[in-house]
Amino acid sequence: MKNTIILILIGLVSTTLTYGQSGGAAAVNVDPPEIAPGAALGAGNDEAGVVDENPIAEDDGGFLIKDASINNIFQLLAKRAGKQYFHNNKLNIDDYKVTGHLNGDTAPLKQMEELAFQYGLRMYVRGNTVYAMMEEQLQQLPAKEWTYTLRYMRATDIEQIKALIQPLLTPGRGIVNFEPKTSTIVVIDTIQHIEMVDRLLKKIDRPKGQIVVEVKILRVNSRVGQAKGMDWSKSLRDNGVSIDIARSLNSVFGLPSKWSESSPVTQSPLPSGGTTGSDVPDVTSNLILSPVQVGGVLRALNDANMVNQKSNPVVITEDNEVASVALIDRVPIITSEIRETASGTNVTDKVRYTIDENDSTDPEKTREIGVTITVRPSLLPDGTIRMDMRPRNAQIVENVQGASGNIYPRVSEATVKSIARIPDGHSLIIGGFYGLVDTKGKNKVPLLGDIPFLNFFFKSKNTSKEQSSLIFVVTPTSYNPSSAKGNNNTSSRLSKTMSVQPGHNWVDDKNPGPAHEPNLRRTIRGM
C-alpha cells in the first residue's frame, strides 16, 4: 500500500515539472538536421550558426581559394615547404581575405613571397619558422649589429656603397657606417633588413677582370724646306769667334753637344725639343768626317724628320676603372707683381705650371702641356671591350707678352672624346691631331754679306714647312688575374714587346755586330 502511494506521487511531480518547462505545452521530440558530406562551418560564423563551404579546396593539382584568411594560406604553404608558421593576429581581418587559385607545382616559399607582396607584407625566414609581418611590426623588432669586410670593392667607393645600402634599411632607424682601417661596413638594424644587405653585398662584391692597355703614340712628320747660301751664325755666334775655331758636328745641326762637364747643354723651352749648342770650348784641332760618317748623319736626320714612335706606354687597370698616360712638359709660367711702398719697390714672383689657375688636376680633365690620354676599358658579355678614351695634345705655339711685362704662353690644344667597342686584343687607331708650321729666316755676315757675287757665301735664306700628325694606337687585352697561366702569358708577351731586341745596335744586317764596338773582323767584312 505504501509503495503504491509513493509511485503515484512521483508520477504527479514529473508531470508538473514537464508542464512548467514547456510553458504549458506538451514536449515534442525533434531529430537534428543532417549535414551534407564535404561541407564545413565557416570561420567566424560559429555564433550565427551559419553553414558555409570550405574556403580552401583541392582543385586540378592546386587549390581553389574563396575568402580564405591569409594566415591559413601561409600555414598551408609553410607546411608544404617543411616549415612552421604562426598566425599573425593583425591579419585576421577582412582586408586580408584571399580569393583565387593556388598552383600546386610552384615553390611554396616563392608563393608566400608573391602573396605577401600583393598585400604589402614582409616575409622573413628564421631557422625553421616563416613569419609574415607588417611594416610597423618590423620596426618593433630588436636591432642587432652586423659587419661585412670588403673583399674586392675599394674603400674609396664607400659613398656609392652606402647609397646602395641605405634604402634597404628601416627608415629613421637603420644605420650604416664604415671603418676605413679594416675596410669593414657596420650595419645596425633588424635581422630581416640585415639579411637583405648581406645578399646585396655578396652580389656586387665580386672579383673583376684586368685589362692591359698598350698605347703607341706615333708622330708622322712631313717636312719640306729650302736653304740658300751659307749660315755662319751657328759657328760664329752673334759676337764672332776666332778664325781657327773648331766645332762639334752636333752644334752644326742644332743637336746637344757635351765637350766637358763645365759646359752644359741648354734645353729649349719649346715643345719641339730643339736644343742650342754649348759654349764654345777652347780647342784648336780640326774635325774631319769621312763620307760614310756624313752619310750616316744625314740618314739619321732624315729618319728623325719622318715617322718616329714618340712613346709606347703600357698600363694595367681593372675592369671599368680609369687609367691615364701623360707625357707632359712642366713649363713654368712666371708672373711678377710690383708694389710701391714707403721703403721701396717690392717685386713678387709667382710660378704656376697649369695653363689657367683654376685648371683641374683630375686626369680626365687636365689641361697640362704635352700629350695625355685617359682610358676606361669595360669588359662586355660578348667578349668585346668598350673603350672610353680622351686623348689630348697641347703645345706651346708662341709666347705673348702682356702690358705688365709678364710673358704667357699661347697654347694650342686638341682633344678627342671617343667611345668605341672593339674585340679583345685588337687595336684602335685614333688620329686627326694635325699641326702645320711655316718657318722663314734670313741671316748674313756683316759687310761680307753685302758684297755682290761674294755675298752668297756669307748669307743664308731658309724656308721650311712642317706638317705633323699625332696618332694613338690603343690595344686592350683582358686576362684573369687569379689565373697563374693567364698572368704568365701576359707577362711573357709584355716582356717580349717592351724588351730591347737582339741586333738593335747593328747598323747593317748583312754585317752583324754592334756598330759602336771596335771589331777587326766586322771592319774587314764591311770593306
Identify the CA nearest to 204 among candidates 150, 141, 155: 150
Sorted by where each starts, the structural domains of the chain and their CATH numbers stand as 56-137 (3.55.50.30), 143-206 (3.30.1370.120), 213-220+298-501 (no CATH)
Residue 9 has pLDDT above 60, yes or no: no
Three-state DSSP class for residue 159: helix
Q: Can you tell me which residue has the cell 763620307?
A: 291
| Cβ neighbours, 10 Å, residue 329 | 16
- pLDDT for 85 equals 94
Query: Which tens digits make up the pLDDT trace of 19-56?
Result: 444 444 333 343 434 434 444 334 444 444 444 467 88
CA dihedral 419, 421, 427, 429 (to 10 degrees): -30
Region 312-327: what's the mean pLDDT? 87
Cα 511 to Cα 344: distance, rounded to the nearest angstrom: 72
pLDDT digits (tens, 9 = 90+) for 87-128: 999 999 999 999 988 888 889 999 999 999 999 998 888 889
Which residues, in sequence order, are bridge partners of residue 50?
none
Q: Which residue has the higher pLDDT, 240 or 76?
A: 76
* Helix, strand or coil, per DSSP, at residue 72: helix
Q: What pLDDT was estimated at residue 361?
A: 62
> 334-363 pLDDT, tens per residue?
777 777 777 777 777 777 776 666 666 666
For the chain, give the mean pLDDT.
Answer: 72
Q: Is the pLDDT of residue 379 over 50?
A: yes
- Identify the pLDDT of residue 35: 37
Q: Which residues of 221-247 are buried (b: 16+ CB within 10 A; e: fewer)?
A: eeeeeeeebebbeeebeeeeeeeebeb
- Give the rounded percent of residues in the chain with a pLDDT score beyond 70: 62
| pLDDT, tens only, 382-439 | 988 998 988 888 877 777 877 767 777 777 778 888 888 888 888 887 776 766 666 7
pLDDT at 307: 57
- Judged by DSSP in three states, 233 sits in helix
Query: What's the pLDDT band for 69 if we cut at 50, 70, 90?
Result: very high
Cα(451)–Cα(468) distance, rounded to whole angstroms?
A: 39
What is the percentage of the chain residues whose pLDDT exceeds 90? 19
Residues 6+ apart with CB under 8 A from 18: 27
Average pLDDT over residues 516-523: 70
Parallel, antiparallel, or unpaired: how do β-strands 62-69 and 97-102 relate? Answer: antiparallel
Residue 450 is classified by DSSP as G
Task: Express each pLDDT in 477-519 by its tens digit.
Answer: 898 888 888 888 888 777 776 666 666 666 666 667 676 667 7
Work out the end-to-end distance of the chain between its first and last CA atoms, rounded to an integer number of angstroms. 173
